[in-house]
Amino acid sequence: MSFARWFVVGSLVLGCVVACGSTVGDACNEEGKIEGQCPNDAICGKGAGDALVCLKQCSDGAQCPSGEECGGVSKTSLKGCRPKR
């Protein structure tokens, strides 16, 4: 296989891993960010403790899984589901 073909295949695989690989609960590094690091409908915020993770966006507790509550995310007017304290 030629270099050009390897380059194209490698770029496609890497693109899928980067774009398709994140899920709620994965680590992120910019609090309040909603694009790039976290999946759609998720926001980077503090989960349990001070660790930054992708949180499911919510507007009230009914949208969160059992054992989680809907709370504000710093630097935004958005809310995310996080473990109850």
Whether the model clears a pTM of 0.95, i.e. scores above it, the answer is no
> How does residue 9 score in pLDDT terms, banded at 50, 70 and 90?
very low
The DSSP symbol for 36 reads S
CA distance 85 to 77: 21
Domain residue limits, the chain? 23-83
Q: Give residue-wise pLDDT tens across range 23-77.
A: 999 999 999 999 889 999 999 999 988 899 999 999 999 999 999 999 999 999 9
CA distance 31 to 58: 16
